[in-house]
Structure 1
């Protein structure tokens, strides 16, 4: 599925193959049983004595047990190295727009002036601006932004279309059991790693944190795919991908604890992967500060209870910001799909150029977003007076500049997030929250200076700073991030690790709880969940929905079935080739449709192909999918391993002339429900057990089947599943964009017509 296609709807999700976690767990269990059987046989042969073969088997068992930890360590180291390289290149490209280092063109401004303390712009002879003329500097700044965005978008369109976007939505679907071929491939990893610094340096209002998770999962997939233990087991591969995604979050924010998801099964592996990644990043020290992120700060000043009312304002802003951005960004995405699907490069260059032209004249839009946050988070007494940010004489001019930066960047995020380049929304949202929070902090500080003896400020000591605007920026960043992503606990942990200030845990929790409450009142989903719905990905959310409908409302009644006995090999092959489905229910006969089992089409084809290679099977060979009463289907099924024991099972199956026994590959106990079961129960089965398909039967008679995609077809029409800020509702921005597009089309048509008339007159002369 290309990111340039216009058909990413619920219907296109039907082409996405899914994993059957139950089948995968059965295969994994059979492998463990066979390995245990081999160890037991080896110990029996040794008659209680320690033999060389027994030692080899024990050593092999130890290697297998430690392989997962070894793999996640390699993945973590790779993620850390990749993150450090991306950070170094990004900062170098960002500084290149302003000037160059005479000591070495490959050095950014910080490394070029690393011997100087304080402001690098003063007294650093090695760093040269491109020009002393303001207009020339502005033009070069815009030119570099256009070049960087063109290179990034062109590489993405030409070599790896999956490298566009954030990747968070797709990663969530992959971890839930759906397969997207090429999304975690080598070219996607390479192009996204190369273009991500270009995109950030171009000045587009997008971040690298979401794409960093995608790149981290690609590294995990590439490394784990080299080991057969993970390449043959989808559940184990998903554990590695989950650990890699946690490490991607950890290196993006410098938060080894905030990265891992708190899933009991994968928590420790995720923590190890995140820890190795952050240690590697710290060892490479990309910012030359000894810190894991550029905006890491430390607060040693306490807060006051009267500030809670202002913290509530930050929380309300975060909730409103998330609702506003999600609603209008989905409308822009709808417009982009309709009109700009084939103009990804032109769109990215245009947005980068406009952003650079506007942002150059605002001090907080001109510099990199992470550098901007590092300035806004600082205390004024700790070298935080950037361009007189802490001076009382210019506080109102700073308030105006911060307010303008807040709303301009908000509009730029709405139109930029989702364009055909690697683009995240974590850091842009935090930067917006930081500018708004710092503005509010300056206003509160000005209020304190105007009325120092007021009742609410009575707890403040005269000679000790009472209000710290940097903490308001920090809390505003947390509120905006939580508002747009709809996450709370992870943000608390991440922000705590960024500051190391235990005293600000309670204010952070207050702000995030208010943000969540505002989002809940407005019915807002996270932007990743809205992108999943917008793109039509088959993903069941964790929220409980009430449909007041049985499973019979969405189940498929016209299904392909195989008879347990009586079908020839030619009939089976023709039927399977014509059906084009993922599996077949087995019925005793076509009239009664008594359910006898279920077989996957992949397993069936492999079994038939392997049988043909071993035996000369005529087309009229009878196929049986049901065992005789004397045979033990449960024992054979528990010991089967399609991937490793195919040949021996085929030899066992062909035990009598003219009969091919395929029942060892049949699931004799498929997951079934009654047609009267509520749809909510079926959804819980899909979420918790992860089957590919659930069969529907009444008193043993097969009446239909359902999949996750069938349930999703009904989801938009659910009675309690219609959020207030639905992207499908046409809004003012969508209408304005349509009018602008129509006007541009008319202008282009007029220019073409005028050019045609001038050309004809010139030829007549």
Structure 2
């Protein structure tokens, strides 16, 4: 056999090799999983430091919070406006763009520079006590890493890499590593990013989720995002409570998303750097006042509140905490800095579930907290499968899977009455324009 035939045979074999096709995705997942863990550790340290300082010097935050919000906004404004906010709408928009005609737009949304700006801006915001999460940013960061690795491999790789497969796999790997929820990552990819095309690159998505998740666990150790909350025996009698919590939390999440989008669109319509800077300062001051007047649980992503409601005996959210977990993320997001709403949505839902359990005198307080989390997140995202699978994996409470599903579906149906599209879908359209 001639050298030319051997070369042609090898080239053809390599091009058709499915195992070879997965190599760039594995490399990207390794990097993304490591980045997700490092970001999580930095975010957690900043949040804990902020909580410690607030406990010792609460009134200093009337100055410190506006300063941190302003720095977070300035970093985004001067270095990458695509890094503002959650990160999920940016990934959704990039996934819908054409890889040929829209390449510069995709690169702006998913560059390493954008990812780095995302990290720094969100760390300043959380250091100032902002009610933001790291999960949405992690999704954009992971998708950016996959996009970068794909571009580098494409220069010499014998196989053509699918632009959409890289973005979807990156998003799925990001949510898997952020929450330690591999099934949640896969379901998110199907429900939010690629419901129509998932079958074409399901193996790369699953592989990316596995590798990123294993890397995160190898560094951080095996853990559940919310631990193992105690649940009483779940029977058919819980159905009315599941419907009630799903309805109230779902409507709350839908209105939250609608208000948040209206405010975000209002801010985008304001011109003038200094005008936006003064608005950000005012929002930082307003957030500090909320934290001082309402409750300290206004601050941070809300993980501490969720853990308190689930694990401290007799803990009940009051109306101040319900209001704080609704208003705090609105003010923080509107600052223009980077920061997600996944964890804050879960915390708001937990507060609603806890309060409803107290009002109806339910002995299943912990379960209603979990159902509230699912309902509110569903209302915000319109992704009921993702919401209940995430909470299920976060807590390992499989005995409650049916009320979880029921709450998610109830929340989804009522949320669509408020608005047929989610906050993320509305924001995605702004990026596409």
TM-score range, shorter chain: 0.7 to 0.9
Residue 275 of structure 1, aligned match among 187, 206, 210: 210
Residue 232 of structure 2, aligned match among 271, 278, 301: 301
- Greater share of helix: 2
Change (3 A) 1:139 1:324: same
Contact 1:165 1:423 in 2 (8 A): yes
Kindly state the Cα deviation for residue 527 of structure 1 after the two structures are TM-superposed: 0.7
Per-residue deviation, residues 408-467 of structure 1 (Å, max 9, x unmatched): 3313333443542112221111111101111222334xx36xxxxxxxxxxxxxxxxxx2
Answer yes or no: is 1:371 the counterpart of 2:323: no
Answer yes or no: is 1:164 the counterpart of 2:84: yes
Distance in 1 of aligned mates of 2:9 and 2:272: 57
Contact 1:297 1:374 in 2 (8 A): no
Give SS of 2:133's match.
coil
Distance in 2 of aligned mates of 1:230 and 1:437: 53
Higher RCO (CA < 8 A, seq sep 6+): 2
Distance in 2 of aligned mates of 1:354 and 1:197: 19
Q: Give ranges in structure 1 of 5+ residues lacking alignment.
A: 1-44, 101-128, 132-136, 379-383, 391-397, 449-466, 539-765
Give SS of 2:366's match.
helix
Distance in 2 of aligned mates of 1:55 and 1:282: 42
Match runs of 1:332-343 below 5 Å? 332-339=263-270, 342=273, 343=275
Match runs of 1:699-718 below 5 Å? none
Match of 2:286?
A: 354
Match of 2:75?
A: 155
Match of 2:369?
A: 473
Give SS of 1:525's match.
coil
Contact 1:259 1:274 in 2 (8 A): yes
Distance in 2 of aligned mates of 1:230 and 1:485: 39
Residue 432 of structure 2, aligned match among 524, 537, 546: 537
Distance in 2 of aligned mates of 1:442 and 1:468: 10
Give SS of 1:409's match.
helix
Match of 2:327?
A: 411
Give SS of 2:30's match.
helix
Distance in 2 of aligned mates of 1:514 and 1:98: 35
Change (3 A) 1:310 1:151: same
Change (3 A) 1:363 1:290: farther
Contact 1:208 1:422 in 2 (8 A): no
Give SS of 1:219's match.
helix
Kindly state the Cα deviation for residue 367 of structure 1 after the two structures are TM-superposed: 5.5
Match runs of 1:483-494 below 5 Å? 483-494=379-390
Match of 1:422?
A: 338
Per-residue deviation, residues 657-680 of structure 1 (Å, max 9, x unmatched): xxxxxxxxxxxxxxxxxxxxxxxx
Answer yes or no: is 1:317 the counterpart of 2:277: no
Change (3 A) 1:324 1:282: same
Distance in 2 of aligned mates of 1:56 and 1:234: 17
Match of 1:627?
A: none
Change (3 A) 1:345 1:216: farther
Contact 2:247 2:414 in 1 (8 A): yes
Q: Give ranges in structure 2 of 5+ residues lacking alignment.
A: 191-197
Residue 183 of structure 1, aligned match among 109, 128, 131: 109
Match of 1:576?
A: none
Contact 2:249 2:352 in 1 (8 A): no
Kindly state the Cα deviation for residue 244 of structure 1 after the two structures are TM-superposed: 0.5
Match of 2:353?
A: 437
Match of 1:61?
A: 13
Distance in 2 of aligned mates of 1:63 and 1:203: 51
Per-residue deviation, residues 114-160 of structure 1 (Å, max 9, x unmatched): xxxxxxxxxxxxxxx985xxxxx212344443343233222212222
Per-residue deviation, residues 249-286 of structure 1 (Å, max 9, x unmatched): 2122221111122411122211111111111111221x
Match of 2:422?
A: 526
Answer yes or no: is 1:259 the counterpart of 2:185: yes
Distance in 2 of aligned mates of 1:297 and 1:184: 36
Per-residue deviation, residues 298-321 of structure 1 (Å, max 9, x unmatched): 545322322221211111112321
Change (3 A) 1:250 1:521: same
Contact 2:137 2:338 in 1 (8 A): yes
Which range moved further: 481-490 or 523-532?
A: 523-532
Contact 2:329 2:344 in 1 (8 A): yes
Contact 1:281 1:292 in 2 (8 A): no
Kindly state the Cα deviation for residue 241 of structure 1 after the two structures are TM-superposed: 1.3
Answer yes or no: is 1:218 the counterpart of 2:144: yes
- Greater share of strand: 1
Contact 2:126 2:132 in 1 (8 A): yes
Contact 1:360 1:366 in 2 (8 A): no
Answer yes or no: is 1:138 the counterpart of 2:58: yes
Distance in 2 of aligned mates of 1:226 and 1:199: 32
Superposed CA RMSD = 2.9
Match of 1:87?
A: 40
Distance in 1 of aligned mates of 2:164 and 2:259: 33
Give SS of 2:110's match.
coil
Contact 1:216 1:245 in 2 (8 A): yes
Kindly state the Cα deviation for residue 194 of structure 1 after the two structures are TM-superposed: 2.2
Match of 2:258?
A: 327
Change (3 A) 1:189 1:292: farther
Which range moved further: 337-346 or 81-90?
A: 337-346
Contact 1:168 1:528 in 2 (8 A): yes
Larger Rg computed on CA atoms = 1
Contact 1:97 1:141 in 2 (8 A): no
Give SS of 2:22's match.
helix
Change (3 A) 1:237 1:530: closer
Answer yes or no: is 1:249 the counterpart of 2:180: no
Kindly state the Cα deviation for residue 225 of structure 1 after the two structures are TM-superposed: 0.9
Match runs of 1:565-714 below 5 Å? none
